[in-house]
């Protein structure tokens, strides 16, 4: 992260970390947001998603958070079957959220 934020020689200043965080930009005008995170994600901590979800809720943004046990980043599970099943479930939950939030476009013509 320090390399990405050009902080190679020292800890990044708080203002630079804040500027790089989506949580810093949350406001009540944001659209509904669906968040999913695997408990075994080694790339992004589930705590980041939890904090983002809390900020969205505090701003009154419609949001849903799903934490999927036993999978990592990109829905990678311990077996190919687990990865497949989680990926299919994530897709279905995403579609369900969109339909619940904005409806099925085919019925709105």
pLDDT over 80 (residue 104): no
Backbone φ/ψ region at 103: left (φ over 0), alpha (ψ -120 to 50), beta: left
Distance CA 42, CA 44 (A): 6
Query: Residue 2 falls within a domain, yes or no?
Result: no
Separation CA 66–CA 93 (nearest Å): 9
**Quick one: pLDDT at residue 106?**
63
Q: How confident is the model at residue 72 (pLDDT cuts 50, 70, 90)?
A: very high
16 within some domain: no
- Tell me how many domains the chain contains: 1
pLDDT one-digit tens code per residue, 6-20: 887 778 888 888 999
Tally of residues, the chain = 109
Give all strands (DSSP E) within 17-109, no chain letters: 33-38, 63-68
The DSSP call for residue 33 is: E
pLDDT in tens, 50-69: 999 999 999 999 999 999 99
Give the structural domain span for 87: 29-107
């Amino acid at each position: 992260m320090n390399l990405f934020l050009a902080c190679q020689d020292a800890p990044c200043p708080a203002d630079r970390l804040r500027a790089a965080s989506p949580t810093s930009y949350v406001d009540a005008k944001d659209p509904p947001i669906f968040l999913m995170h695997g408990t075994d994600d080694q790339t992004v901590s589930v705590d980041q998603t939890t904090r983002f979800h809390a900020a969205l809720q505090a701003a009154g943004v419609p949001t849903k958070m799903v934490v999927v046990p036993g999978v990592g980043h990109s829905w990678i599970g311990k077996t190919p079957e687990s990865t497949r099943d989680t990926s299919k479930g994530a897709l279905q939950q995403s579609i369900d959220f969109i339909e619940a939030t904005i409806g099925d476009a085919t019925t709105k013509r």
